[in-house]
Structure formats: C-alpha cells, structure tokens
Amino acid sequence: MSEIKHSYVRSNGIELHVAEMGEGFPVVMCHGFPEMWYSWRHQMKALAEAGFRAIAPDQRGYGDSSCPQPIEAYTQRKLVGDIVGMLDALNLGKCVIVGHDWGGMVAWNAAMMAPDSVERVIGVNTPFIPRSPMKPTDAMRAMTAGGFHYILYFQTPGVAEAELERDVERSLRAFYQDPVNIDPAEVRKAPPGVFGQAGGGLLDRFSDRPYGKFLTEQDFQRFVQAFKKSGFRGGLNWYRCIDRNWEESLGQVDRVEQPALMITAELDVVLRPEMAEGMNKWVPNLRKTVLVKGSGHWTQQEKPAEVNAAIIEFLSDMKK
C-alpha cells in the first residue's frame, strides 16, 4: 500500500484524513459504518491503474479524521459539506462520488445538495431513498412491532458505545461476517434492520465467529486499531441524526440528475437488492443496476473484481 499518499486537509471546520492514489479525474469514495478509508483499498488501486485519481477520506467521526462529540455535528448537510470542503482544499472542481452504506447516503445527497461538485454518482448497496412521509424513527417503531431494531437501539447516546467498545475485536468480528446464504423469501419476512425479539444488545444477535474471508489478519487489525483509537461514538452519531436529516430535507427536491450507477449485493440482508427497484423515478439518468452475486454487505471488499469492473465500465468514457 506504499503507493497510497496520505494527507490531512481542513474542511468545513474539521480535519479530514485523506488517502489518495493515481492521477486523472477525481473519484471520491465514501465509506459506511463501521469502516474507514481502507475499505476502498481494492478500488483505489484499480481506479489508479485505469487513469483516475482515487480519493478515500476517513469521514468525520472515523479513523484519523476529527470526531466531534455533538450529535448535531453529523447531519447530512455537515457530511456533504465535508466532501465539498475537501474538494476545495485539494483544488478540485467536480468529482465522481461513490458511496457504500452510510457513504451512499452522502453520495446521493451530495449529488442533490452540491450538484456543481458532482459529475456522476455511484451507489454501492445503498439505493436512492426519497424522503418518507413519516419521521424515520416513528416509521421504524411502527415497523418493528416490538422487535429489536438496531437503528433504534443506536439512538440513545452511550448505550451502543459501551457495548461495542467493551471488546473492539469482538464487535468488529460480529460486523465483518461472510454472508449467510438465506432464502430471500425468508429474509423478507422481517423488516430490514429488525433482528429478533426486543431486549438485550446488538452483539447478542451475533455468534462470535471468525471475521469474513474477505479480510486478512492484517486487514482486520487495521480496522481494529482504527476503532480502538476513534471509538464508535462518531459513527453512531450518524444514525442519531436520521430525524434531523428528515427535518432538514423538507422542501428539498428528491431528484438526482447526474448519470448514475447502482451496485447491489445479492445477500445483503439490510440493504436488500429489491430496495433499488424503481429508483429511476428519482434518478432518471440511472444508466445501469448491477447485481453482485454471492456478496453480502461488504461488497467492495467481498467482491472487489466485480465492483471494480462495474465502476470502471461506468466511467470508461471519462478516461483521459
């Protein structure tokens, strides 16, 4: 990984750690929870070799970037502002923006909130989701019917932090699992994000199995050391802003005009492939939806060859 350059930039009132590789049109990659820039290591190399400038920040609250404590510091407006400020600090105009998991929300919102900064947009697992008529946490409570919804569990400051930080290695092993090949019809019986009956914590829902085969021990330890340093509060605060994001998006047009690519994962039990169906209603220039077979949630790490091929094909007419 010695070819990757690391720097720190001031953006939107905080400091962002930025990893870069290659030259050419900038492709900014936004990670999800609980991850960091390193989640994009496979894509950075492939994009650099294809003639692009791959840029992967630790987003606010993660890795070596600033980790503000207030919940309200993690709204989508703040997170999009971080990306725009980073582009300004790097003396860049437009970029292609790619996002996975929560990073996908940043990517779609950046396309709407800062259209002059976004040439194209790519969602990985995270589809474009229009504004709901109901406050998100109210909708989740109605959906759970008394079950355990991990996002609702994350809402109370300090509770999930205490559980996840007690043993960082154990927590990350629980998250970074290979997919379980479950019949999609069985998965659909429970609403997304609902893991069993109410009571207890999140890790009670997962057996303490080894981390997924898509990680080497060295890879796994990179994540472990990062979260031992940063803790989980920053990442959890993203979830605690979902109602604020909903309130702030009132009046915002739910429409992404830029050319777009959607990459879905066959075995992601939370961001299910069918959630991307009908997306072209709000993303009229959606050029293609790619289903990555055999992949769970950590798609760009589990199936890097397939993800790289889809991204580079989508960007092929932008090469030098």
Q: Output the pLDDT for position 180.
A: 79
Tell me, which fold does domain 5-318 have in CATH? Rossmann fold (3.40.50)
pLDDT digits over 1-49, tens only? Answer: 459 999 999 999 999 999 999 999 999 999 999 999 999 999 999 999 9
What is the phi-psi region of residue 236: left when phi exceeds 0, alpha when psi lies from -120 to 50, beta otherwise?
Answer: alpha
Q: Output the pLDDT for position 320.
A: 57
C-alpha R_g of the chain: 18
- pLDDT band at 60; cut points 50, 70, 90: very high
Q: Output the pLDDT for position 107.
A: 98
- pLDDT band at 204; cut points 50, 70, 90: confident
- pLDDT band at 207; cut points 50, 70, 90: confident
Q: Which of 82, 101, 178, 268 is catalytic?
A: 101
pLDDT digits over 208-241, tens only? Answer: 889 999 999 999 999 999 999 999 999 999 999 9
pTM confidence score = 0.95
What is the phi-psi region of residue 158: left when phi exceeds 0, alpha when psi lies from -120 to 50, beta otherwise?
Answer: left
**Residue 239 appears among annotated catalytic residues:** yes
Q: Which of 100, 176, 239, 268 is catalytic?
A: 239
Domain residue extents for the chain: 5-318
In this predicted structure, the answer to whether residue 319 has a pLDDT above a threshold of 60 is yes
Q: Output the pLDDT for position 1.
A: 44
Q: Higher pLDDT residue, 28 or 181?
A: 28
- Which of 65, 74, 121, 76 has its CA nearest to residue 94? 121
Q: Which two tokens stand for residue 83?
A: 């990306």
Look-up of token digits 């697992």: 125
In this predicted structure, the answer to whether residue 191 has a pLDDT above a threshold of 80 is no
Cα distance between residue 144 and residue 184, in whole Å: 19
- pLDDT band at 196; cut points 50, 70, 90: confident
Cα distance between residue 82 and residue 60, in whole Å: 8
Q: Which helix (H) or strand (E) holds 29?
A: strand 25-30
Q: Higher pLDDT residue, 200 or 195?
A: 200
Name the residue type at position 247: E
**Residue 31 appears among annotated catalytic residues:** no
> Helix, strand, or coil here: 135?
coil
Q: Output the pLDDT for position 20.
A: 98
pLDDT digits over 130-162, tens only? Answer: 999 999 999 999 988 888 999 999 999 999 999
Cα distance between residue 4 and residue 121, in whole Å: 23
Q: Which of 17, 100, 149, 297 is catalytic?
A: 297
